[in-house]
Structure 1
Amino acid sequence: MTATPHSPGRAGPARSSGVREPGRLRAMVRLGRVKFLLQSSSVVGAGTAVAVAASGGFSPRMYLLVLLFAWLGHLMTHYCNEFFDLDADRANPSPTSWTGGSRVLVDGLLPPRVSLSAAFVLLFCALCTAMALPTAGQRLVAVAVLAVSWFYTAPPVRLNYRALGEVACATVLYALVPLLAFLAQSTPVTPELFAYLGVVFALQLLRCLIMNLPDIPGDQRVGKTTLAGVLGPSNVTRAYAGGNALVYAAVAVVTVTGTLPPVTGGALLATLPIPVWVASRLRTGVLGDQRGAELVTFWSSMLLPATSCAVIVGMTVTAFLGRGAPGPWLVVATATIALFGAWLARTVPATVGRSRRATRRDRRSATGVGAT
């Protein structure tokens, strides 16, 4: 009988008790899936960039406060999800590096209670950070972020088990967090902000559909209902292609009409090849093999930080040409773009390597090479 996420006393394979402390530390970091914090960093930067372009001002203290809150909330969500999604992760026959969880609890490297305990600690720290925000409106947005994030998988709400997870994820990470970053700069809301939020919300919703596709078989085994599972692979493929076509058409319209500055609109349109490639691969049924799933989920994930970085570039250039961009913000914007670029340069070869190794394993299995 397998342990469930709600029976933390059963930690999995007995070998977990023999893991040395350095191994436990590495497992704890891996459990938190730190690589995904790049997305929260980029959306905080993008929301701030829109505010800087609108006002010409920049508060480093408020930027750092929101960034800290976003990281704490993001990590909290990961540790919470690992605990409450354990049954679904165990039932998943084909996880990738970007879907199916960290596999730390599945492999028995740490007991499940460690993940839940970490989630509670991070929730407390995030709430304390939220209470340090200066206005009631900002604190309300922050609390909404934490509430939706926690109940993404936690009972009794379990949004991602009721076909609401994709919408919840898009609402938190690509609507509420950049909105909070914008508001923290004490700038009145602008049409540019709503245009940006609408674009990235829609793109994140479409991305979440793709990320849940490889998990459908395991999800169905444990009664987990995602929107991707309800729609099915063929409808998700059509929704992704059609949805991205509509989003990028909307970007072109709001750029031509002047709602978005030309530099920002042009930078966003420059990311179009990514969803075009993903959509073309989806039509071939590529998620049926591990190599294809690895690459498609990777590039569908990279579209979101890429669009956020495009907004950072576009809005910073707009600010520089208009009111002027404060020196500290130029440093932050440059560092954010450079970090994403360096991480991408390191991650692309690693992802391609993993996909090739998966292909070789599949071929060996098909031919019986190495079988015992």
Structure 2
Amino acid sequence: MRLGRPKFLFQSLMVVGLGVTAAQHAGHELSLGWYLGALLFAWLSHLMTHYCNEYFDLEADRANEAPTSWTGGSRVLVSGLLPPVVSLGAAFLLLFAAVFLLAAMPDTASRVMAAAILAASWFYTAPPLKFNYRALGEVVCAAVLYGLGPLLVFRLQAGGLSASMCAYVGVVFAFQFLRMSVMNLSDQAGDRRVGKRTLAVALGPRGLVRLYVIGQCVVYASIVPLIVATVPLLPGLAMLATFPVPLWVARQLLRGALTTGERADAVTFWASMHMPITAVAITLGLLADLARRDAGIDGVWLAICGTTLAVFAGWFTRAVRSSATARAEAVTP
């Protein structure tokens, strides 16, 4: 369980919820079977990526002398608690299970999208492509989890895509790219020692922080014309309301927070949480817009979505308290 780092599965849980809610907002009926199928596929591929990365990133993780709770791997293989082959075997089993779901998808386009997700996820660290060793990992991760992922979910529900869904995906894709840049920045010293060329290694700390700050400003500024062109007002405002999270992260990065253990953990935590928080914000905005228009919300999906959001809120509250406690203990003499 520790090796698989299941806490990150909340990211894909929120992504699937966003895709289904967007399809509901577009007037499509709920397909409960494909909601469950998409969620299972997302979790299988997400966990597969974790186990695959643990195996192929082992040398880099060993070289990382300052891991955080959110970067540097699980430390299970580094500590010798399990042999590396266990991680590789788990990754293959999850891959095979995901392929069975892929084969059952209803049309060729969905199967191609699912195949692209699996291939990009596997070769994120696995040879011969090793995207995250060639300064391509950030964009590949964003394209898989917050690009193709929600688009596939929407297609399984709606049978196609919409301009507004593509707009939501464009925003969260850009946020995920910037978030992954910060995560790799935390690991860049160890990565540099083993020749792992992430974007953080390629640009250096100052260049990467500059990219994060400018990138966040550009993405948030782009939300306004999206509201004018295609995105409903309430989901658009919900996206804008998440700005305090990257603002805090940017301020910490500019102050050199990643050089201090307890502050680095907080920065990587909030950089990671920016993604599910944004997915939740869009989801709530879409539901609020449906309620405002009195368009009707599927009762089954409303129950599922409400339960999912409540579970995430409970986990998130506990994670924030744990992070705050860890920082307090770290600074107490």
TM-score range, shorter chain: over 0.9
Question: Counterparts of 1:13-28 in structure 2 under 5 Å?
Answer: none
SS at 1:95 equivalent = coil
Instruction: Compute the TM-score of the two structures, normalised by the length of structure 1.
Output: 0.87
Give the one of 88, 104, 120 matched to 1:116. 88
Match for 1:269 among 209, 228, 240?
A: 240
Hey, what does 2:163 align to over in structure 1? 191
- What is the aligned partner in structure 2 of residue 151 from structure 1? 123
Task: Give the Cα–Cα distance (whole angstroms) in 1 for the partners of residues 4 and 306 of structure 2.
Answer: 26
Deviation at residue 188 of structure 1 after TM alignment: 3.2
- The answer to whether 1:280 aligns with 2:251 is yes
Partner residue of 1:308 out of 279, 284, 287: 279
Matches within 5 A, 1:40-55: 40-55=12-27
Instruction: Say whether the 8 Å CA contact 1:56–1:319 is kept in structure 2.
Output: no
Give how far 1:323 is off.
3.2
The answer for the alignment partner of 2:218 in structure 1 is: 246
Question: Does the residue aligned with 1:223 lie in a helix, a strand or coil?
Answer: coil
Is 1:290 aligned with 2:261?
Answer: yes
Query: How much identity, in percent, do the aligned residues show?
Result: 52
> Partners of 2:311 and 2:219 in 1: how far apart?
27
Check if 1:329 corresponds to 2:301. yes
1:322 CA drift (Å): 4.9
Mapped contact 1:83–1:116 kept (Cα < 8 A): yes
| Letter in structure 2 aligned against 1:328 | V
Count of residues in correspondence between the two structures: 332
Aligned to 2:58: 86
TM-score with structure 2 length normalisation?
0.97
Tell me which residue corresponds to 1:130: 102
Q: Tell me the alpha carbon deviations over residues 298-343 of structure 1, each in whole angstroms, 9 at most, x when there is no partner.
A: 0000000000011111112223335321111111221221122111
> What do residues 275-315 of structure 1 show as CA deviations (whole Å, max 9, x unaligned)?
11111111101111001100000000000000001111111
Matched residues in 2 for 1:222 and 1:81: separation? 15
Q: Which residue of 2 aligns with 1:367?
A: none
Q: In the TM superposition, what is the alpha-carbon distance from 1:236 to its structure 2 partner?
A: 1.2
Question: How big is the shift at 1:241?
Answer: 1.1
1:56–1:325: 8 Å Cα contact kept in structure 2?
no
Question: Which of residues 72, 81, 95 is equivalent to 1:100?
Answer: 72
| Aligned structure 1 segments of 4 or more residues deviating by more than 6 angstroms | none
Q: Distance in 2 between matches of 1:108 and 1:234?
A: 35
Q: Offset at 1:359?
A: 3.9
Q: 2: distance between equivalents of 1:268 and 1:322?
A: 22
Once the two structures are superposed, the pairs formed by residues 25-40 of structure 1 within 5 Å of their partners are 29-40=1-12
How big is the shift at 1:187? 4.1
Q: 1:213 is aligned with what amino acid?
A: L
SS at match of 1:104: coil
CA distance in 1, matches of 2:313, 2:109: 34
RMSD over aligned CA atoms reads: 1.2
Task: Report Cα offsets for 1:165-214 as digits up to 9, x if no partner.
Answer: 00110000000010010000024321111110110000000000100011
Check whether the contact 1:83–1:113 (CA below 8 A) recurs between aligned residues: yes
Q: Say which SS state the counterpart of residue 185 (structure 1) adopts.
A: helix
Q: Any conservation in 1 of the 2:151–2:161 contact (CA below 8 Å)?
A: no
Contact between 1:268 and 1:307, CA under 8 Å: does it hold in 2?
yes
Q: In 2, are the aligned partners of 1:313 and 1:333 still within 8 Å (CA)? A: no
Deviation at 1:358, TM superposition (A): 3.6
- Equivalent AA in structure 1 for residue 244 of structure 2: P
Q: 1:223 to 1:35 in 2, by over 3 A?
A: same
Unaligned runs of 5+ in 1: 1-28, 364-372
CA contact (8 A) 2:63 2:191 kept: yes
CA deviation after TM superposition for structure 1 residue 253, in Å? 2.0
User: Quick one: which amino acid aligns to residue 277 of structure 1?
Assistant: W
Task: Choose which of 218, 227, 240 in structure 1 pairs with 2:199.
Answer: 227
